[in-house]
C-alpha cells in the first residue's frame, strides 16, 4: 500500500507533456518625461541562444525558487542593478510557449534613476518605447502551424495504431512589431500585445 497522503503532502503540481521548464520575465515600465515606457533589452550578440534579439529580462527558475523571486533575481542580474529598483505591480497572464514551457510574466515599475545605459554578458543594450505606441499600433500577427510527427521507430504495428493515424495540429500566433530598424517579435511581441490589450 502507498501512503498517498504522505507521498503527495509537499509535492507541487507540475505539468504533463513537457519538460517542466518554468521561466519568469519582467515587463518593466519606467517613467520618462512624464510618459510610461516599456524597457526592452537587445540580447548580447555573443550569446548562443537568440543572440541580438529583443526580449524582456528573465530566465529559468532555480531549484526551490518561486516565479516572483526568479523575476526579481533575473531582472537585477541582467540589468546590473539592485533588486530594490524593481517593484512588482502584479503577475500578468502566464505564457504557454510550445516546446519551451511556461513563462510567468510580471508587470513592474522601475526606479526613475535606473541606468538605461548598460552592456554586459547578456545585454547588448537597452531601449524604451512608450506604452502608448502599442495602443496606437497593432502588430502583424501570423499563425504558424505546429504539427506532431511520430518518430521513425514509432511502433505502429505493435501498438495496433494505423500509420494513417491523425496526430493533429494547431495554429500558434507569432506577432511582429517593426519600428524603424527595431523588430520585436515572437514571445516578446505576443506578451506586449496581450498586455497592451488589457489597457484598452
pTM comes to 0.88
Q: Which of 10-19, 34-43, 98-107 has the lowest mean pLDDT?
A: 10-19
Overall domain count for the chain: 1
Please write the tens of the pLDDT for every residue from 172-189.
899 999 999 999 999 999
Residue 131's φ and ψ, nearest 5 degrees, are: -55, -35
Does residue 71 sit within a domain?
A: yes
Give the torsion through C-alpha atoms of 111, 115, 120, 124, to 10 deg. 100
| Residue 176 resides in a domain | no
Give the closest residue to 41 by CA, choosing from 53, 33, 24.
Answer: 53
- Say if 86 falls within a structural domain: yes
Domain of residue 66, residue span:
20-136+181-197
Beta-carbon contacts of residue 149 (< 8 Å; ≥ 6 apart): 167
Residue 6: its pLDDT value, please? Answer: 92
Q: Is residue 107, in this structure, part of any structural domain at all?
A: yes
pLDDT band at 18 (very low <50, low <70, confident <90, very high): low
Is the predicted pLDDT of residue 13 greater than 90, yes or no? no
The pLDDT assigned to 200 comes to: 86
In-domain check, residue 149: no
| pLDDT per residue as tens digits for the range 31-52 | 999 999 999 999 998 988 888 8
- Asked whether residue 74 carries a pLDDT value surpassing 90, the answer given is yes
In 3D space, the residue among 100, 105, 104, 94 whose CA is nearest the CA of residue 19 turns out to be: 100
List Cα–Cα distances, 91 to 16, 125, 165, in angstroms.
23, 25, 40
CATH number of the domain at 113, please. Answer: 3.90.79.10
Of 103, 125, 105, 104, nearest to 116 by C-alpha is 125
Reported as a pLDDT band with limits 50, 70 and 90, residue 85 is: very high
Q: Read off the pLDDT band of 19 (50, 70, 90).
A: low
User: Does residue 143 belong to any structural domain of this protein?
Assistant: no
Amino acid at each position: 500500500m502507498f501512503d498517498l497522503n504522505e507521498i503527495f503532502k509537499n509535492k507541487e503540481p507540475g505539468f504533463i507533456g513537457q519538460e517542466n521548464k518554468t521561466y519568469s520575465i519582467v515587463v518593466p515600465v519606467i517613467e520618462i518625461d512624464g510618459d510610461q515606457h516599456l524597457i526592452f533589452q537587445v540580447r548580447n550578440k555573443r550569446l548562443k541562444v537568440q543572440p541580438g534579439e529583443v526580449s524582456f529580462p528573465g530566465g529559468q527558475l532555480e531549484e526551490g525558487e518561486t516565479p516572483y523571486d526568479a523575476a526579481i533575481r533575473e531582472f537585477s542580474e541582467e540589468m546590473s542593478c539592485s533588486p530594490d529598483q524593481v517593484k512588482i505591480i502584479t503577475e500578468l497572464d502566464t505564457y504557454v510557449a510550445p516546446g519551451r514551457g511556461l513563462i510567468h510574466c510580471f508587470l513592474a515599475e522601475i526606479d526613475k534613476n535606473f541606468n538605461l545605459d548598460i552592456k554586459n554578458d547578456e545585454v547588448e543594450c537597452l531601449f524604451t518605447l512608450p506604452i502608448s505606441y502599442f495602443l496606437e499600433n497593432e502588430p502583424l500577427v501570423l499563425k504558424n502551424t505546429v504539427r506532431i510527427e511520430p518518430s521513425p521507430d514509432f511502433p505502429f504495428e505493435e501498438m495496433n495504431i494505423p500509420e494513417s493515424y491523425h496526430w493533429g495540429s494547431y495554429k500558434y500566433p507569432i506577432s511582429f512589431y517593426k519600428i524603424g530598424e527595431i523588430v520585436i517579435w515572437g514571445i516578446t511581441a505576443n506578451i506586449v500585445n496581450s498586455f497592451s490589450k488589457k489597457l484598452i
